[in-house]
Amino acid sequence: MIIRNSATIFNALGGIMNVYKPAGVSVRKVINAIITNLCKDLNQLETRKPRSRLLFDKVDNETYNLEVVPDPADDIKVVGERHQFSDFKCQPAVSLGHFTSGVLLLGINRGTRTAYHIRMNRPVRVYRVTGRFGKATETHMFDSRIIAKSDFGHVSRGKLSGFLSSLQASHQRKMFELCGVDIQSETAYNLATQGTIRPANNNLPVIYGISLVDFKRPYFTLEIHALNEYEDYLATLIHEIGLGLQTVAHCTALRCIRCGYFTVDDSLLRGNWNLQHVISNLQVSSKILEDHPDITNQESISLVNSDTKEELFSATNLIEK
């Protein structure tokens, strides 16, 4: 059955959307574009007619004609379109930086509560990060002023892969050290089997895995599995990798390809930010949440929250030279 009533469809618009955020566009602009398109599509359907009012027409001293007419004060030409921007609530589950593209989870209407639970649960996200050897910039991003240049001819795929392996091992070892256990002990094994080890502080970035997926000198692409990460942290990590290999490097692209169980394959591209595709995407996301309830209520293993040890997780101190 085809539903043409806009009010019925609006009431069904609630849940988690998986959209593809373009690079160079803020999350707020993405939300504004989606809600604007939804309002436009809803207003093209069957909307509520103006309310009725009673019109009294005096015929003589004791007789009145009573007529029911549309209330002109409720006409769309007076009050505007039936569905407006302010009717929607929309919040990101986990935000992305300005230069980062990829999976962006948005909670719309009643889905904002689910988005909050996903954010508090801190899902692991997977990134494809591209860097360039030979040039260092002020902010470690491609749009910043170049402050240093260096030779990178000695950097090979083998050297880069080996350095990344030691970097990943260093992060994993530090996670267990903050828990006060030896990574080679049975206690560490039992701790790892209980679920993803998460820092007690939401501002403490953790890298669970980092590997090389492409190397075409001077460019290289890494796949990074991280938690509590942010754009500047990943860019700084690329800079520190360059220093660790006796050269310099800066970040040229960041792309989030997975957030928890949500992948880039199901993300809505900019051309599909309309009512029909949003409803289909909400249904797909609802099925994912139903199949994986741990997205919103996982009992996570938290590390010791110690401000004196947070510096161990900074990109500059995790690389063992």
Phi then psi for residue 106, to 5 deg, are -120, 135
Strand partners, 133: 249
Residue recorded with tokens 């007529």: 67
- 100-108/249-259 β-pairing: parallel
* Alpha-carbon separation of residue 48 from 7, 40, 44, 51, 103 (angstroms): 8, 15, 12, 9, 35
67 near 44, Cβ under 8 Å? no
pLDDT in tens, the chain (321 residues): 466 788 888 888 899 999 999 999 999 999 999 999 999 999 888 877 877 777 777 777 777 777 777 777 767 777 678 888 888 999 999 899 999 999 999 999 999 999 999 998 888 999 999 999 999 999 999 999 999 999 999 999 999 999 999 998 888 777 776 666 677 777 777 777 766 677 666 777 888 899 999 999 999 999 999 988 999 999 999 999 999 999 999 999 999 999 999 999 999 999 999 999 999 999 999 999 999 888 887 665 555 444 433 443 443 344 444
Q: Which of 136, 31, 94 is nearest to 231 (CA)?
A: 94
